[in-house]
Chains A and B, each alone.
Chain A
Amino acid sequence: MGGFAASIRRLRTARPSERREWLFALALLTPACLMLAVFVAYPFGRGIWLSFSDTLIGREGAFVGTSNFVKLWHDSIFQRTTQNTFIYTAIATLLKLALGMAVALMLNMLVGFKRVLRASMLLPWIIPTVLSTLAWKWMFDPTFSIVNWILYSLGFINVRVDWLGGPVAAMGSVILVNAWRGMPFFAITLLAGLQTINPDIHEAAAIDGASAWQRFWRVTWPLLMPVTMVVMLFSVIQTFADFQLVYILTGGGPANSTHLFATYAYQIGIQTGKLGEGAATSLAMFPFLFLVVAFQLWYVRRGEGR
């Protein structure tokens, strides 16, 4: 708030030319701020109110204190959902990082075909997620699964695998598709980071006798850390708040075992019409998201200070 007081003071003592600049800035910022105030800030406040009320679709509710949150706390599906979301985020993000890093390193080593490969690699990220996820759902179909056929033909399995049928298999499949979709983002961004590393450093390390493995962990990894960190944090937020993959592949099933916060909030708030409880469910994401964003801001600032 000290900044605010200082701003007020500067407003009073400003020269006319400075004031003109401020007015110009104000005019330029107005459209964006207006849109964000009406469609982000206001809904956010409204969401907080809803989560403390018993509002249903079409019926304004009354203030009920923390009872929505208390109810969620004791709800076994919500507990499962919380556990799922953290497992999903952790495994999928690490998988994407490992695969993305491997692909970025390989792309960086390639001489020809680099552009074509990079372009085709990005497709899962560009194509509407819902539509590609539908293709995956069809590939996982219990009766007509091509994944089963391929694994059977190659001799890996001899019985039918129901990829989306059991809680563990379904969670695994959803994580797999998430990694498939999100890996390109890691690969391309990390590749951009790799290309800024001066090859001379690698050469010097090689001359000093460092093996490829050592060069990666001692040279590439630390130099790439700022990029890795930012990509990871972006991905953690997106994965944590994911909706589409689970909605299409399992719908939260079988028996509510693969819900994430967002799909469970949708089920309660939209499908059942309990807006208050639904808003509380999606706001349950807020503390974790807040921590990640705060960490990211701190990390970016730290970089600026140097």
Chain B
Amino acid sequence: MVAGAWWKRWLCLYLPMGAVVILTLFPFYYMAVTAVRPDREMYIPWNRPNFAPFWTMHPTLEHFALLFEETLFARWLANTLLISLGSTLISLFCGLLAAYALARLRFPGGGAMGTGIFVTYLVPQTLLFIPLGDVIRTFHLGDTPWALILTYPTFLIPFCTWLMMGYFRTIPKELEECAQIDGASRVQAMVRIVFPVAMPGILSAGIFAFTLSWNEFLYALVFLSSASQKTIPIGVVSELVRGDTFFWGPLMAGALLGSIPVAFIYSFFVEQYVSAMTGAVKG
């Protein structure tokens, strides 16, 4: 607690906190203003007196219209959604089963396998993208959604497994033991008793995994080539930048529309995000 005079609280707490919030959110605000700013207003050098960067008197939807009429933005949106959902479901399925085995069952090599999952979780995408691209070509998956639906789980499965292992450990073992005494099989106890209780954890892992795949950039950049197959981050970057020319209006409109779905989900599940984030770094 900052004790003492009111001005001390303002100086040490409210003012710096306010500055941090403004700096944190300003790029998004600026993204939104640019997205509705007409072109004739956009390209005024910053040192001219009529440069009014913080707002616009003539908001327009022309950039959004261009996005939907002259690029495949709607298609990119659908691709991103399909790929994120597909890879999240695969990862949740694999991660949930693996986490249950690692957290609940005693078997030789279990500890080593847990460590292995943790190490895989730490491997950054940039270490393997070149050979992985080569593998994708070998399997003839290049430039299809499957290239991403099958490769995103490489970082999502370790994440989900790690998170769910931590969650399963917080569920008392007696729960399943009671179910088994009442005549349920091991599988039934897992599916009917433990998984429903673990639902909040599954939800956390799921929405976080969905966000991670929605935001992924490198694999999509390397594995996809035709405009109709692209995801939003790649489509926006590659189709609205021609050489050194950046179409800032549509770019920011695309960035805004590409961010809104994630921000929307996030606004409903802030607590789940926070618990996924803090849970994922716990040893």
Within the assembled complex, what's the spacing in Å between the Cα atoms of A126 and B214? 10
* Chain B residues positioned under 8 Å from A286 (CB to CB): 127
User: What is the size category of the interface that chain A forms with chain B?
Assistant: 35 or more
Cβ–Cβ contact B113 & A29, under 8 A: yes
Contacts of B134 in A (CB 8 A): 43, 46, 50, 55, 275
- Interface membership of B34, Cβ < 8 A: yes
The smallest beta-carbon distance between B71 and chain A, in angstroms, is: 15
**Does A169 sit within 8 A of B, measured CB to CB?**
no
B94-111 residues at the A interface, CB under 8 angstroms: 94-95, 97-98, 100-102, 105-110
Interface string of B96-137 (1 = CB under 8 A from A): 011011100111111011010111101111111111111100
Q: Which residue of A lies closest to B267 (CB)?
A: A119
Bound CA span A22–B106, Å: 7
CA distance A42 to B154 in the complex (A): 12
A134 touches B237 (CB 8 A): yes
Does B246 have its Cβ within 8 Å of any Cβ on chain A?
A: yes
Q: Is B226 positioned at the interface, with any CB of A under 8 Å from its CB?
A: no
Query: Could you tell me how many residues of chain B have their Cβ less than 8 Å away from some Cβ of chain A?
Result: 98
- The answer, among B17, B53, B130, for a CB contact under 8 Å with A106, is B17
Q: Per-residue 0/1 for A82-116: is the Cβ within 8 Å of any B Cβ (1 yes, 0 no)?
A: 00000000000000000100110011011000010
- The answer to whether A32 touches B94, judged by C-beta atoms less than 8 angstroms apart, is yes
- The answer, yes or no, to whether B13 is at the interface (CB within 8 Å) is yes
**Interface residue A217 (Cβ < 8 Å from any Cβ of B):** no
- Complex CA gap A138/B248 in Å reads 7
B151 CB contacts on chain A under 8 angstroms = 39
Residue ranges of A at the interface with B (Cβ–Cβ < 8 Å) = 3-4, 6-7, 10-11, 20-22, 24-26, 28-29, 31-33, 35-36, 38-40, 42-44, 46-47, 50, 55, 99, 102-103, 106-107, 109-110, 115, 117-132, 134-139, 141, 143-146, 148-149, 152, 160, 180, 183-185, 188-189, 192, 212, 227, 230-231, 234, 237-238, 240-244, 247-248, 261-262, 265-266, 269-270, 275, 278-279, 282-283, 285-286, 289, 293, 296-297, 299-300, 303-304
Q: Which residues of B contact A (CB under 8 A)?
A: 1-2, 13, 16-17, 20-21, 23-25, 27-28, 30-31, 34, 42-47, 51, 53, 90, 93-95, 97-98, 100-102, 105-110, 112-113, 115, 117-120, 122-135, 150-151, 153-154, 157-158, 161, 186-187, 211, 214-215, 217-218, 222, 232-233, 236-237, 246, 248, 251-252, 254-255, 258-259, 262-263, 266-267, 270, 273-274, 277-278, 281-283
Q: Could you jot down 23 A-B contacts, CB within 8 Å?
A: A3-B112, A6-B108, A26-B107, A28-B105, A35-B90, A35-B157, A42-B135, A46-B131, A99-B20, A126-B262, A128-B215, A130-B233, A135-B30, A146-B46, A148-B46, A183-B24, A238-B124, A244-B218, A265-B126, A265-B129, A270-B130, A282-B127, A285-B127
